[in-house]
Amino acid sequence: MKTKPTILVVNDDGITAPGIKALTETMQGIGHVVVVAPDSPQSGMGHAITIGKPLRLDRVDIYEGVEMYRCSGTPVDCVKLAVTKIFKGKKPDLCVSGINHGLNNAINVLYSGTMSAAVEGAIESIPSIGFSLDDYTLEADFSHCLKFVKTIALQVLQNGLPIGTLLNVNFPNTKDIKGVKICRQANAKWAEEFDERLDPYKRHYYWLTGVLENNDKGEDTDIWALDHNYASVVPVQFDLTAHHAIPTLNSWSFSVS
């Protein structure tokens, strides 16, 4: 009899977030689930790891019948500890991260703790997927995207992923998702502002605000897909080498007199 796949579930919104509950329940329909998630929200942590202070990893019983661990560190710490201490080097068949409360499209992929956890899974040669929904509220309804989550996960388990590649999957906030679009990451960036405010002691502090500016008019991007009620699937790589720039740099002179 074929054994069920082992699936590592992580996130950045914390172990009690509704998104990870929805993802965990969906993955239980596919295989044996192990959850390792931060003990508090870690949004925007990117690929940070904890150094210089101890990490805690505690077994918890939150969802019946699920092996779960609460980690004091970052989303990337969760994956690292899962691989080395829970799986003890016998890697899971799949790593899924999310479902994030809020999009991780365009440039957001660089800041996202959700995606960084999936990236760490891919670095460990585990087929990995990050899932996000365009709804930042704790009352977010994930039900309309779960059939797509399951289908995408099954496809990755069946077909694998190219070496050094993972998937960034985003869902629009609509119950009428038209389907799935394979996309490229839109060339868009945050137009950031910092609101200057005063605390009760009259000391200045700053609160990050801003909007995502999209100057990419292509109809093959994640932003276009989401704006048109499709789930966007972007293949992502962690090799940040700008290969196209190497010939240009090789034409420069680096001789030192």
Whole-number pLDDT of residue 216: 87
Long-range contacts for 190-193 (Cβ within 8 Å, ≥24 apart)? Answer: 190/107
Whole-number pLDDT of residue 1: 43
**What domains sit in the chain, N to C, each tagged with a CATH number?**
6-186+218-250 (3.40.1210.10)
Cα separation, 249 vs 212, in Å, equals 31
Least confident of 145-154, 185-194, 219-228: 185-194
> Among 135, 215, 229, 147, which residue's Cα sits nearest to residue 181?
229
Cα separation, 90 vs 37, in Å, equals 19
Could you tell me which residues are beta bridge partners of residue 190?
A: 212
- What pTM does this model have? 0.93
Whole-number pLDDT of residue 190: 76
Q: Are 16 and 39 in contact (CB under 8 A)?
A: no
Least confident of 24-33, 75-84, 107-116, 149-158: 107-116
In the numeric block, the tokens 């009690």 are attached to: 16
72-121, pLDDT tens digit by residue?
999 999 999 999 999 997 999 999 999 999 999 998 899 999 999 999 99
Whole-number pLDDT of residue 166: 98
Cα 77 to Cα 19, 53, 85, 97, distances in angstroms: 19, 12, 11, 13
Q: Is residue 33 classed exposed, middle or buried when 0-12, 13-18 and 19+ CB atoms within 10 A define those classes?
A: buried
Q: Do the bridges between strand 57-60 and strand 67-71 make them parallel or antiparallel, or are there none, so unpaired?
A: antiparallel
